[in-house]
Structure formats: structure tokens, C-alpha cells
Structure 1
Amino acid sequence: MRSLWTAATGMRSQQFNIDTISNNLSNVNTTSYKAQRAEFKDLFYTTLKRANVLDEQERPVNLEVGHGVMPAATRKDFKPGSFVETNGTFDLAIDGDGFFGVLLPNDEIRYTRDGSFKLSVDYDEGMLVTSEGYIVLDEDDNEIFIESGITDITIDELGYITGADEDGEPVDLGRIKIVEFTNPEGLLSEGSNLYSQTVASGEEIPIDAEEMRGRIVQGYLESSNVQVVDEMVKMITAQRAYEISSKAIQTSDEMLQLINNLKR
């Protein structure tokens, strides 16, 4: 019976939906995490009779039956999360569109909205890095160094880093790399709050200070944009849809059993 396989696709799809929802809920406290939404599309149809309005027996609609559903995509919601005050010197949040650029040990660039940066000290010099030790890049794709003795470090809304030397004179330490993408939803999630560019996302578009539509906020971190209540409602809906699909399989099995018993 076609209904057995059709209902099975519904169960598989709702299982995928639950997997997506559970991932959102597990990352409710992850810095800068963006909630995902599972999207589905119906499978192909078998047309038993086609619409025909050219002869005497006009049939205005088709007679067709579908074969179920399949996951089509997972879409990220890049709506910004709320800001959490940390008062950390190197804790940064992007108020608006954009991503920070970081350099991996294999010299590949990745992108993140997680601005919980740290200072990696080597002898008398410090370097701005992520929690995993990945290098935070400046607008020229170079490392950001902070020499010992530099105090009163501030990062303004445009991403410029300044400090004061031992004599109290201002020191320019560079500007953090900020980029955007034509289609950020096309970015590939790699874990550790990192994204990589793809053909779908397009290449990175550096944001110059004069062109910034958002701002950098020092001493704050962007929280996850997952709405727990919404995710719970989605979970209940997915669970009920899963139960209905399983009920359709049970009903089809009972119908097959009745057919088999006709011979007796």
C-alpha cells in the first residue's frame, strides 16, 4: 500500500524536525547562536487521470496522489540576539549585520559573531584570539598585537582599537575585521560558532568604517536568539505530526490484515 511508505516519510521528516529543534534548545545559552528552522517539500505525485477540457468529457482537475514529504533545507535566522553585559575588555557584540574574521591554524579564514575574545600573551606581546586560540584578524587580514605596558584599551563603535602607553600617550592598535555577505543564510556552519563562506553565500564583503550600518559594542556579548517557548510549541506540533503518521501506518497495516483475512 502506498500509504505505508508515504506515512514513513512523514515520520522521518518529523524526526529530522525534532533533531533541529533539540539542537536549538541545547544551544539556548550559546553565545551568538542563531536558531535553525527545518523546511520541507512534498515528494513527486502519481497522476492517475489528467485534467482534460478539450473533448466532450471535460475533467477540470487532475486525479493524483502524493508520495509524502522530505526535508528540503535548514534555514538560519540571523536575527540578532539580546546583549548581555560582561564588562570584559575584549568582549564584543555586533549591533547589526556583520561577522568577525578569524584565522585558523591552516591559514583559512572563518567568520563568527561570537566576540568573546581573549589575549594570548607571548613574552612581552599579546595577540587577540578566540577561546580556541584562533587569531582575530584586523581589516588588513593581519594579527592584532598589543604590546606589554599598553593600558586603557578601548574598542569604539567602528572597531578601532586604541590604548595608552606608559607615558599616557594614545596608541593606535588597528581595526577589527568586519565583513558581511550577500546571502548569510548560505554560510556553512562548522561548529565552535564558526561559519565558512560558500558559493551560495557569496564572497566576503569587507565593511569599511565609513560604510558601517551597525556598531561594535565593547563589554557585551550577543546571546542566542533561540526563543524557548516557540521551540517548545514547535516540538509539540512535530510530536503530534509524528504520532499521526505512525497512526496512518497502523491503519494501513490493519487494512492489509483485513484483506489477507478475506481468503478465510
Structure 2
Amino acid sequence: MDINAPVGLSGQIALARRLETIASNVANAGTAGYKSEAVTFATVVSKTQPFQTSFAFGGGPHVDLSGGGFKQTGNPLDVAVRGQGFLAIATPQGAAYTRDGRMQMLPTGDIVTLEGHAVLDAGGAPLTADPDGGALDIGNDGTMRQNGRTIGALGLFTLDFARGYSRYENSAFIPAAAAVPVDDFARDGIVQGFVEESNVNPVLEMTRLIAVQRAFEAMSASLEQRDQALRETIQGLGARGG
């Protein structure tokens, strides 16, 4: 059995998936709160006789939870998340979790994201404030005060990405497992008046992009050479038989 083609194809599929994540990272290098992704791969060994054969198996994506830089805006409705927590927002697909802490207050007093999604507290309820009550003061634990009066608290959650997730819009995630509220604010917390930038390193991602493209081209060339050699062999055997 000729296993060269299946092995080469498995490698190309793996590289194509890596290329997709790199392209997404580069496209979101300027997206607030964006967490870059990579793809983890495994090797599947077939015990087809007479030799064991290794196939590339494209594993799931892996989220890089390293922090992005904090950019000071001075806007009291901008917050950055310190540590590995996520803010909760309401979406048509259910609760999603994001590091993009750019918020706005509607004339109704509802606290929403720039895209209009309601920002949630630790219990999953939408946050509201008095639109005529003055600026908000937001503490490290997410507590929101207006004129010295506590009006609510931003929900802060940790996610288990190992159990699966999907992305929502650009920087938000919808996890397969339930998010866990943060109760220790020594490591995780809120910083008011700042926005977290993407943790994508554009130079590094472009370097990876070039490396993956070259590897893909080399693998394609190798498969083409193998096909050409096979065609020549068949033609040679055919000529002898004639």
C-alpha cells in the first residue's frame, strides 16, 4: 500500500489549520482584548506492516492567555482585566466572555459594550446605572459606585478552555463548560481607565506565516516529485510490457 500520499495530505491539512490561526491572529493584532490562538498537533502512528507510519493529526486550537499591554484612556467606562479573568456579556448565543472592556452607558442607564451587548454582573444580570448620576468609580473587584453609592459589580470569570469553546465576534469566547466566578482578586482584578490591547506579536506571527507557507510549498513539491516518479515508473513498465 502506498502511504506517501496520505501522510503528505495529513501534513498539509495540519499546516492549513495552522495557517488559518495565524491569519486570524494577524487580522486581530489591533483588536482590543484579543487573545491569539495556536494549533496543537499530535502524531498518530499506524502499525501497517512492514513499517510503522506516522501521520500528522490536527489537534484543537490553543488560546494564548498571556496579557496584552494596557493602554490608558482616562475614560471611566473603560476597564482592563488584570490576570486571566474575563468580563461577561449577553449575546444572542447566550453569555460570552471577553477581555474587551470598552463600555458605554445608554440614555436608559444600561451598561453595554461598544457593540451594544449588555455587560453582566457575577450573577448574570445586566448592569445599570443612573444616567444623570455622574461618573462611575470601578474598584479592583469590579464594584461599581456612583456618588459613593454601590450600584453593582462587574462579573469576572475564569474559563476552562481545555473543555472546548467557540469564538464570538472578535475577542469574546463562548465556553463549552460553565464559567467560574472569580472570588480572589489578589491575582485577577479590574483596572479602570485602561484598555487591554491584543496580545498578538505581529512580527512573530508574520515570521510564523512565512515558515508555514514554505513548509506547505516544500511538502507540495515533495508530493509532486513522488507522483512524477511514480508516473515515470508506470510508463517504463508499460513500455517494457509492450
Q: TM-score, normalized by length of structure 1?
A: 0.82
CA RMSD of aligned residues (A): 2.0
Alpha-carbon deviations, 1:158-209, whole Å to 9, x = none? Answer: 2111122xxxxx222211111123x2453332224222231xxx4222223x
Q: Which of structure 1's runs of 4+ aligned residues deviate more than 6 A?
A: none
Q: CA deviation at 1:247?
A: 1.6
Cα distance in 1 for residues equivalent to 2:47 and 2:222: 19
Question: Could you list the runs of 5+ residues in structure 1 that have no partner in the other structure?
Answer: 50-62, 165-169
- The one-letter code of the counterpart of 2:192 is Q
1:233 is matched with which residue? Answer: 207
User: Which residue does 1:37 correspond to in 2?
Assistant: 38
Unpaired runs of 5+ residues, structure 2, are none
Which residue of 2 is the match for residue 197 of structure 1?
Answer: 175
Query: Are 1:163 and 2:150 matched, yes or no?
Result: no
Match of 2:53 in 1: 65
What residue is the counterpart of 1:88 in the other structure?
Answer: 75
SS in 2 for 1:22: helix
- Residue by residue over 1:129-174, the C-alpha shift from the partner in whole angstroms, topping out at 9 and shown as x without a partner, is 112221111233323222243123211212111122xxxxx22221
Counterpart of 1:3? 4
Query: CA separation in 2, counterparts of 1:187 and 1:13?
Result: 20
**How far, CA to CA, are the matches of 1:204 and 1:8 in structure 2?**
37
1:132 aligns with 2:115: yes
Q: Check if 1:110 corresponds to 2:96.
A: yes
Percent identity reads 25
Q: Does 1:23 align with 2:24?
A: yes
Deviations 1:109-131 (A, max 9, x none): 22111101111112xxx110112
Q: Which residue identity is paired with 1:128?
A: I
Once the two structures are TM-superposed, the CA of residue 84 in structure 1 deviates from its matched residue by 1.0
Specify the alignment match of 1:57 in structure 2. none
Distance 1:256 1:105, change over 3 A: closer
- Equivalent pairs counted in the alignment come to 236
1:56 is aligned to none
Q: Secondary structure at the match of 2:110?
A: strand
Query: Distance in 1 between the 2:45 and 2:78 partners?
Result: 50
TM-score by length of 2: 0.88
Structure 1 residue 259, shift from structure 2 partner:
1.1
Determine which structure has more spread, i.e. the larger CA radius of gyration. 1
For 1:154, give the aligned amino acid: D
Question: Is residue 161–residue 173 contact of structure 1 (8 Å, CA) maintained in 2?
Answer: yes
What SS does the aligned partner of 1:17 have?
helix
Report Cα offsets for 1:79-126 as digits up to 9, x if no partner: 1111111111111001112111122357x322111101111112xxx1
Which residue matches 1:221? 195
